[in-house]
Structure 1
Amino acid sequence: MKTEKITIANLKCGGCETTIKKALLKIEGVNSVKIDHEKDTVNVIYDDNVDREKITNKLHSLGYPEAT
């Protein structure tokens, strides 16, 4: 099990949180998603067989790229 804290761009409201949470939980192996829109972070707990890049690619496709 891995835990990842990803800082993203464009996180504006509760609707954004719901969209992200629903999409990430559809990825097989993702167990938990918690979002802090004040800090623009997504905390994801996922199985070892899930590639982090799959999560960040999904965020990017939703319009929430990883902040650099």
Structure 2
Amino acid sequence: MGVLYNDMGNDKKALEYYKKSCESYKMQNVSENDLLLANLYHNMGSLYYENEYNKTALKYFRKAFKICNNNST
């Protein structure tokens, strides 16, 4: 849902759904190295970057990178 809202230009709603997805992953005990979680972090980073919240964007890009790096071995 977050991606759809992002595509429609509704950044506030997109971020709301991205955060709900993060909470859902945590409740389901999804591994911190799950690539779907990396994709979610990347999407959140992109959204923050587009809105010029560069420090927050970098935080999420780093989380995504760490997961991808852990899965590359």
Q: TM-score, normalised by structure 2?
A: 0.31
* Higher strand proportion: 1
Higher Cα Rg, which structure: 2
Report which of the two has the higher share of helix.
Answer: 2
Higher relative contact order (CA 8 A, sep 6+): 1
Query: TM-score, normalised on structure 1?
Result: 0.33
